[in-house]
Chain A
Amino acid sequence: MRGMRTVGAIAAVLALVPLTGCGGDDNGSSGPDTLDAKADLTKQSLTVSIWDGYSPEDLPERVEKDLGVPVKIAHHATNEEIMAKLTGGGAGGGSGIDVAFVSGQYAQALNEAGLLEPIHADLVPNLKNLYPEARQLAYDKGNTFSVPYTWGTTGLCYRTDLVKQPPTSWNDLLKPPAELKKKVTMMTTERWLALPALKVLGHSVNTTSDEELADARTLLLDAKKNLLAYDDTTFGDRLTKGESALAEAWDGWCPTSDPKIRFTVPKEGSDLWVDTMVVLKSSENKEAAHALINYILDPEIHSWAAENILYKVPNKAAMEQVDPKLLRANAPLRTTPADLLKGESIVDVGEAATKYTRLSTEVAAGS
């Protein structure tokens, strides 16, 4: 037993070492690197973190063939997961990731934390392919630290044969008519859980006001009674199977290739979300990272996302390449950038993010 105690004491000491070892963050102390446009890319290699299924499967082979850069793909399931990796417990930049795909508001947060390399526009000539609107997004005007990869909005995805009236308002979700009770699903990811209620109340999706969030909570708790389930990932399946008839959905996730399923943006308005590519300041392969982003902005590559996962890409040249048949079959793909920009951009709300966490716990735990 004495031996065991000693081991315990050693373990306790070991547990404390990393804590004292890295007391403060020293992010953002150095300015942007000067990048060499003529750097030999074959001497560099990239680790890219992206959502599973969000880029062409053969992307690493193609990049290696065309640019000579070996690419390793890592997957993350959520923004939160990659944020945890990138900001990881104060270990500042030891993530080994060169390029990460994150949503706009998270890119904004990473930039404020000083973890991002500014985008060197001279190394990304294909930025010219982007829609002008995509270069002036609220969280990053002028693509100074992020390059948009896909964009879209949130709305209502529904079965034309199971609803009596096509939904037009977020209220159709929050206060569903009798025939839709227990046939609707909502999203539970914090910002999108609050979105329908905030829009119905006429508040901003980025509000940090306690009163506005309290009003939203009342609405959301009422809505919970008529809900089938909270669902962020399989709402499309549920609609296809007929288990649900109406779902809060991201446009790209609404299975509009099924002729019985349609997507609409409620009249109260919605959000504009953008998934972006960022280069980490800690990367030692920044030239290759920029080359990769430039490569993805090539219409040939970028149109993949629109054609295969039905996400709109903010790339004019790429969208023009998309098969017109596919566009005709999937209304969300036809949304113009102008219409899309009517949605309110989701931006990082800083410390107030905890208010949204609390709201979603309150709604989930409430009855």
Chain B
Amino acid sequence: MKRWPLTGPGVTYLTVFMVVPLGLVLSYAFFRRGRFGGVVYEPTTENLARLADPLYTDVLLHSTWIAALTTVLALLIGYPTAHVIAGLPRRRQTIALVAVVLPFWTSFLVRVYAWIVLLSGPGWLNKALRAIGLGPVEVLYTDAAVVAGLLYAYLPLMILPLYASLARLDPQLSEAAANLGAGPWTVFRTVTFPLTLPGVLTGCLFVFVPSFGNFVVPELLGGGRSVMVGNLVRDQFLKARDWPFGAALALALLAGLMVLLFAQAWAARRYAPR
């Protein structure tokens, strides 16, 4: 406890550059929109009331669906991958992990644009499909393209925590289970999976949260044909000049994500390996 002054710079930085701006923006949610944008400081709750409008709840539901689908797919792909990586010899593990993280070293936008080239009508996907005699598919500018893009972007965030909890797992536990007569599936179901549940939850949260708020992928790969809540917030600030409503949306998002975060923390404690 004597060392707490050491946290000074960190706390100050977070206060000045995160808590204050965030508090300012969120406080806008309780004021009126200025006719030409900006905020008129007359208190109101109508921005929060507008959140209940079916137009916006539909957008929220749609975003939840897209983010949930992305998360489930990321788990289904990420778990086996992490399992294989954790089973590799030490040196190969490092190489595999670097390969997982490698895409983060290039700009996200550039990678999304690459997906446009892959998926577009005359693009590579359809060239490959034609080569094996299958018809052209219209993927670009659909929700499928949005999910594909989000999955691609956030899959590493699923694999890394899964790997961390799988690598920590004592191999003797599954050996013991096998010795006691459990088949591989039973070992996975009753030993491995429950013990890696904290990693699963962390991975799911890491994928769900940024997918939910993403607005670049829906715009570029979705062709602006579907709206996610991130687009909605961005548009309120940059297009509609309706900061208070944008702030109200951000407030709702933040509240929802806090609930998820607490749920994850609670579940992680509940299922933590003892």
Q: Is chain B found bound to chain A in the same assembly?
A: yes
The residues in B between 228 and 242 inclusive whose CB is less than 8 angstroms from any CB of A are 231-232, 235, 237-242
Contact between B227 and A229 (Cβ–Cβ < 8 Å)? no
Given the complex of chains A and B, what is the CA–CA distance between A119 and B234 in angstroms? 34
User: Smallest distance from the beta carbon of A128 to chain B beta carbons, Å?
Assistant: 32
Contact between B38 and A364 (Cβ–Cβ < 8 Å)? no
Contact of A90 among B19, B39, B223, B242 (CB under 8 A): B39
Contact between A190 and B239 (Cβ–Cβ < 8 Å)? yes
Contact between A14 and B122 (Cβ–Cβ < 8 Å)? no
Q: Which residues from chain B contact A178 at a C-beta distance below 8 Å?
A: none
Max chain A Cβ within 10 angstroms of own Cβ: one of B38, B237, B242, B243: B38
A144 at the interface (CB under 8 A from B): no
Contact of B241 among A8, A19, A80, A188 (CB under 8 A): A80
B175 at the interface (CB under 8 A from A): no
B55 at the interface (CB under 8 A from A): yes
Contact between B62 and A15 (Cβ–Cβ < 8 Å)? no
Given the complex of chains A and B, what is the CA–CA distance between A23 and B238 in angstroms? 23
Contact between A364 and B226 (Cβ–Cβ < 8 Å)? yes
Given the complex of chains A and B, what is the CA–CA distance between A20 and B20 in angstroms? 15
B35 at the interface (CB under 8 A from A): yes
Given the complex of chains A and B, what is the CA–CA distance between A189 and B239 in angstroms? 8
Q: Which residues from chain B contact A81 at a C-beta distance below 8 Å?
A: 238
Mask of B215-253 contacts with A, CB within 8 angstroms, 1/0: 000000001111100011001011111110000000000
B41 at the interface (CB under 8 A from A): yes
Given the complex of chains A and B, what is the CA–CA distance between A133 and B172 in angstroms? 86
B186 at the interface (CB under 8 A from A): no
Given the complex of chains A and B, what is the CA–CA distance between A358 and B4 in angstroms? 50
Contact between A365 and B62 (Cβ–Cβ < 8 Å)? yes
Contact between A364 and B37 (Cβ–Cβ < 8 Å)? no
B24 at the interface (CB under 8 A from A): yes
User: Smallest distance from the beta carbon of A5 to chain B beta carbons, Å?
Assistant: 12
User: Smallest distance from the beta carbon of B215 to chain A beta carbons, Å?
Assistant: 12
Mask of B117-133 contacts with A, CB within 8 angstroms, 1/0: 00011100000000000
Contact of B141 among A113, A229, A350 (CB under 8 A): A229
Q: Which residues from chain B contact A358 at a C-beta distance below 8 Å?
A: 55
Contact between A80 and B23 (Cβ–Cβ < 8 Å)? no
Question: Main secondary structure on chain A at its contact with chain B?
Answer: helix
Contact between A89 and B55 (Cβ–Cβ < 8 Å)? no
Contact between B243 and A89 (Cβ–Cβ < 8 Å)? yes
Contact between A188 and B55 (Cβ–Cβ < 8 Å)? no
Given the complex of chains A and B, what is the CA–CA distance between A18 and B27 in angstroms? 11
The residues in A between 204 and 255 inclusive whose CB is less than 8 angstroms from any CB of B are 224, 227-231, 242-243
What are the 8 closest A-B residue pairs judged by CB atoms, nearest first? A229-B223, A15-B23, A230-B224, A357-B240, A11-B19, A365-B227, A87-B38, A364-B227
Write the residues of chain A forming the contact surface with B, with a CB cutoff of 8 angstroms: 3-4, 7-8, 10-12, 14-16, 18-19, 22-23, 78, 80-81, 83-84, 87-90, 109-110, 112-113, 182, 188-190, 224, 227-231, 242-243, 350-351, 353-354, 357-358, 360-362, 364-365
Report 26 cross-chain contacts, Cβ distance below 8 Å, ordered by A residue. Answer: A7-B11, A7-B19, A11-B19, A15-B23, A15-B24, A15-B27, A83-B37, A83-B241, A87-B34, A89-B39, A89-B243, A224-B225, A228-B141, A228-B223, A243-B120, A350-B35, A353-B240, A354-B240, A354-B242, A357-B242, A361-B59, A361-B232, A361-B235, A362-B55, A364-B226, A365-B55
Write the residues of chain B forming the contact surface with A, with a CB cutoff of 8 angstroms: 4, 11, 15, 19-20, 23-24, 27, 33-41, 55, 58-59, 62, 120-122, 138, 141, 223-227, 231-232, 235, 237-243
